[in-house]
Amino acid sequence: MKPTLFISDLHLEDAVPARSEWFGAFLSGPATRAGELYILGDLFEFWIGDDALSTTAQQVATALQALASAGVKCYFMHGNRDFLVGRDYAERAGLKLLPEEQVINLFGTPTLLLHGDSLCTDDVEYQALRRQVRDPQWQAGVLALSIEERLEMAKSARQASLQHTQSSSMEIMDVNAAAVDDAFRRHGVPRMIHGHTHRPARHAVILESGPAERIVLADWYDFGSYLMASPDGIESVRLES
């Protein structure tokens, strides 16, 4: 039985070609031996619309489509940086778009998938922004702007995000325990996989229903990595440089 792979927080962009090279090596190597690939958000550093593809975005679409055509099922969940990725790009890249929260049967264990930013409820300022940018009417208004205007918005948003990160405590930007417990209870699952916080780890969680596990995916800032699940278990794998 082929393994299922999970990645998130690659933050691909033209300005950092090394990450795209790592991703290309991943897609032409380990990913070809998988049955399914789940991308849990922030594949790209920013996204201003399917009508304004960067060189990196075009190359990624070609590589992902080749993987999908080879029989690997590829899924994409929006992150806080690429929430405007639409159906046109998904079709071009051979991706199936997922909702904000998705439960899958991972080799017999019901597992909740999400990007992870919705769990960071202590960051009240960010959660207000998240509600705004996830609103379909707001998104439609942004996509109606010119590409130049959207680029300026993206630059401003990245600068504001950097300033917010620098001025906020690490605790505020991490997940809230009550939010995690609530997500487990709502979906009735014993396992959760997410990214966003850039704090890769496997956390044991004790619920009223019994023991559970929360797995946090690594970012690709310094090297590429992926989570591999199989009937034999789950392990984090670092890409060979």
Percent pLDDT > 70 in the chain is 98
Query: Which pLDDT tens digit goes with each residue over 133-154?
Result: 999 999 999 999 999 999 999 9
- Provide mean pLDDT across the span 69-88: 97
Spatial separation of the C-alpha atoms in residues 166 and 150, rounded to whole Å: 24
Instruction: Report CA dihedral (26, 1, 110, 205) to the nearest 10 degrees.
Output: -60
Spatial separation of the C-alpha atoms in residues 135 and 238, rounded to whole Å: 36
Please give the backbone phi and psi of residue 119, each rounded to the nearest 5 degrees, phi first: -85, -10
Spatial separation of the C-alpha atoms in residues 112 and 109, rounded to whole Å: 10
Give the three-class secondary structure for 164: helix
22-31, 90-99, 202-211, range with the lowest pLDDT = 202-211
Domains in the chain, please, with CATH?
4-238 (3.60.21.50)
Instruction: Report CA dihedral (95, 98, 102, 104) to the nearest 10 degrees.
Output: -20
Average pLDDT of the chain? 95
pLDDT of residue 241 exceeding 80, the answer is no
Give the three-class secondary structure for 75: strand
Give the three-class secondary structure for 48: coil
